[in-house]
Every structure is written in structure tokens, then in C-alpha cells.
Structure 1
């Protein structure tokens, strides 16, 4: 499973996502997370960033509404909870949400 987080510089939401993702992955973490700082619109579009922070699971943002355009901005709406992240990770592993 490939996990990447796309953030803008000094994203105020990044520390909370980092904490929640760490809790969702458990100790020791069963997957590595790559953090990438994005500073231009072309990279945001190419990588599929839908606001900062964007969590990509296997290259896709599972939290982006269908048809939402890429954006070099702050993410709109609340960050996923630890439970929501666990469910997304389980689905990506092929194990469902349970």
C-alpha cells in the first residue's frame, strides 16, 4: 500500500493528520507514509491534490468528492477521524472496514 500526504508549506492541519494517521496505522506502523510539500499548481494538479493536507492511498484521494478539481489550497471540511482512516486503510488492504 502506497501512502502519500501532500501539503502546502506550513499547513496548519498537517500535524493533526500526522497524529491521526499514526494512530490509525498502529505501532509499529504497518505502512510507510511519504510526506510531500507542494508549492505550485502544476504539481498539485499532476499529483491529485484536493487541498492541504491530501492523503493519497495508492495514488488516489479517497476523501475527494467526485469531480472535484485539483487545488493548491487548504482542504475544505474536517479532517478524517482515526476511525475513518482505519476504515480507508482496511479497504485499501482489501480487508473491508471491519
Structure 2
């Protein structure tokens, strides 16, 4: 079964909105929201092992849906959108990333 995981840091100001956005995107692509797991990344060592590039990170089967060239770190993450930088990806960008990940796994 495909694993869907939201990776966050403690006290991330975008955690709740990210959970909601990921669940909506999964459901829109026919994936039950209950399949979403949430992992709190607490240490730099854990961030390095996971290839975690900031909170929130949207992951399918261990692959970040928005690959980053930045060094792994316990930090907030920003996403580029038509409106500039934001703490979350645009809903359509996340939905497209989920769709592409599901297609590549088939």
C-alpha cells in the first residue's frame, strides 16, 4: 500500500493547515484521508536521515513531492507560488504532485 506522510517540526505554524490541505488533495485524487500519517521530526540527525528539508513536507512512499536542493534541517519551509513565497504549496500544485506520484507508482 502506498504511504502518504506529512512531515512537520514541533510548533510548526502551518501544521494544521498542511494536514487539512494534504487530506483534501488526497481525497480529490481518490485516496481516503485516513491513509495520511503525520511524522514529527525533532532532531537534525533525524532530518538528515529522512532528507527532510523543512516543515511542512509532503511525502509519498518516502519521496518528497517537492524536491529541494537545500540541506536537510529542522526549519520552516517555503513554497513558491504565483503569489510569491508561502508556508504551503498552492492546492492545485499539491494535488498535481499527488496525482503524478500515484501515476508513477502504478
TM-score, structure 2 normalization: 0.77
Of structures 1 and 2, the one with the larger relative CO (CA 8 A, separation 6+) is: 1
Q: Alpha-carbon deviation of 1:55?
A: 1.2
Aligned structure 1 segments of 4 or more residues deviating by more than 4 angstroms: none
- Determine the structure 1 residue equivalent to 2:92: 83
CA displacement, residues 29-87 of structure 1 (integer Å, 9 cap, x when unaligned): 6241110111110001111111111111221112133x321111111332112211111
Q: Which runs of 5+ in 1 are unaligned?
A: none
Q: How far apart are the structure 2 equivalents of 1:47 and 1:30?
A: 24
CA contact (8 A) 2:65 2:98 kept: no
Q: How far apart are the structure 2 equivalents of 1:54 and 1:86?
A: 14
- Determine the structure 1 residue equivalent to 2:38: 35
- Determine the structure 1 residue equivalent to 2:82: none
The one of 54, 58, 63 aligned to 2:57: 54
CA RMSD of aligned residues (A): 1.8
Q: How far apart are the structure 1 equivalents of 2:19 and 2:6?
A: 9
Q: How far apart are the structure 1 equivalents of 2:60 and 2:41?
A: 17
Q: Which runs of 5+ in 2 are unaligned?
A: 80-85
TM-score, structure 1 normalization: 0.82
Higher fraction of helix: 2
